[in-house]
Amino acid sequence: MNELDKLTVAGSGEAGASRRDLFDARVRATVRYADPAAWTTATAVANALAGADELLAMGQHEIGMIAISDQGPGGTMAEVQAEGAKGFSQPMHYAAASPGTLVGVPCIAFGLRGPTMNLTMVPHDGIPVALTLCAGWLERKIARFMVVATCHTSSSGTMMSRALLLAPSGFTGSGTPLTESVINWLTAVEPASGASV
């Protein structure tokens, strides 16, 4: 991938479950019906942004995000099926449960207002597209930083999400080069052993 030399990893995080306690009550109330996958993704993004308070304060409106998943809102679909079998469903409960909430919930939670995209495909296939978009947006200064998050179900049935905070290659803060091993970590289906990248 030719984007490897254009991007720097400024933060990373993963989540195997939702940690709504990481978000203030206002955020939880705003998106209370979001699918569990969206909350797991938001938790991974929170972990990737941990320690980036200065970056968020400088320009959260200039941070964009791309989410990649082929899972869809599985928890919501199961709930709709169960309620349908009972003969009653409350549509209000699914207003914030579309696949787009994988990118929407983290953006709402952290006030990210840069370019966003939701790629509904297998993370391994979506990463080249996401990195090309990130490199272009950062190079043209449409965004100062980009978050890329993946979400999928592990073989044990656990929802897994991973996130990277990406900066342009000239980033002077603490960061590491984007490498194939980082990309492999981002797309891996099983939980990572040890700390994130």
Burial category of 187 from C-beta neighbours within 10 Å (exposed 0-12, middle 13-18, buried 19 and up) = middle
- Distance, CA of 69 to CA of 48 (rounded, Å): 18
Q: Sketch out the chain's domains with CATH numbers.
A: 4-187 (3.40.47.10)
How are strands ordered across the β-sheet holding 159-168? 116-119, 63-68, 145-153, 159-168, 7-15, 176-177
Rounded to two decimals, the pTM is: 0.85
22-78 pLDDT tens trace: 777 677 667 767 778 888 899 999 999 987 777 777 777 899 999 999 876 666 666
For residue 191, give the DSSP letter: P
Count the residues in the chain.
197
Residue 12's pLDDT is what? 93
